[in-house]
Amino acid sequence: MKLENKFVLVTGAGSGIGKELVLALLKKNNKVLAVDMRQESLDALKTEVGENENLSTHTLDISDKAAVEKLASEQNDIDCLINNAGIIQPFVRVNDLDYNAIEKVMNVNFYGTLYMIKAFLPSLLKRSEAYIANVSSMGGFLPVPGQSVYGASKAAIKLLTEGLYSELKDTKVGVSIVFPGATATNISKNSGVDTAHLSGGDLKKSSYKTLPASEAARLIIAGMEEDKFHIFLGSDSNFMNFLYSLSPQFATNFIAKKMKSLLPK
């Protein structure tokens, strides 16, 4: 799907990859509906963009099914839906993760994405050409210690999207799934996750070189335009996908060693 002169809805649009998607899509003369749960982030986005009749914003908690359905009833001419919104969990083991955090992650990452798909798919199917791109994570195909529930939510997005792809193959709705690796965003802050126990040295030792959010957005748009089934973002995501395909156990042990310092002692 050529992403020019289309109407695109982007969730999690107030910062990080979502914001860069909005900026890139506007440059390609698309009309963009930027959705985020934080009004202040959308206000900052509008300030950065300036006067642009192709940008509209909407404050929305995607885990609120009724609110999502209301938005879909008001916006039934969307050509493309990019489900980018997501949050991470505190960096703790499953044994130490409380149920409130578990439910919050699943409600936003899985149910929020599912609500968006269910609400907008009927109108997308009526378009002459349409597209859905869902953002999973490298953690959606590879377990990361301290992010096991987050990974489970993103693995659910992986299988949901692959199933959706198979169901829509004979329609005019294209489907892609995105697997970002380490990307320079504020996801920890926006998720309300305390990383005070992590030193700069810990992060440097445990992390790959982060991909700029602007480059992640460029790769997502290019992947959608090429109708890619899987879109891997960053050298770490590409490498770990290759390694995991060869030996899931070796890849799991490899990433566990890399990420060990992120977990509380």
For 6, phi then psi, to 5°, come to: -110, 170
Range of 138's domain? Answer: 7-262
- pLDDT, mean of residues 130-157: 96
Say how far apart CA 26 and CA 255 lie, in whole Å: 37
Residues 149-202 have pLDDT tens digits of 999 999 999 999 999 999 999 999 999 999 999 886 555 455 455 545 444 444
Q: Is residue 2 part of a domain?
A: no
Residues 56-69 have pLDDT tens digits of 999 999 999 999 99
Catalytic residues: 150
Q: Is residue 1 part of a domain?
A: no
pLDDT at 190: 53
CATH number of residue 238's parent domain:
3.40.50.720
Residues 31-47 have pLDDT tens digits of 999 999 999 999 999 99
pLDDT at 234: 93
Q: Is residue 101 part of a domain?
A: yes
Q: How many CB atoms lie within 10 A of CB 227?
A: 11
The number of domains in the chain is 1
Strand blocks (E) in the chain: 7-11, 31-36, 55-59, 80-83, 130-135, 173-180, 183-184, 211-212, 230-233
Q: Is residue 21 part of a domain?
A: yes
Q: Is residue 29 part of a domain?
A: yes
Length of the chain equals 265
pTM of the predicted protein model: 0.90
Q: Which residue has the higher pLDDT, 116 or 194?
A: 116
Q: Is residue 167 part of a domain?
A: yes
Q: What is the DSSP letter of 134?
A: E
Q: Is residue 174 part of a domain?
A: yes
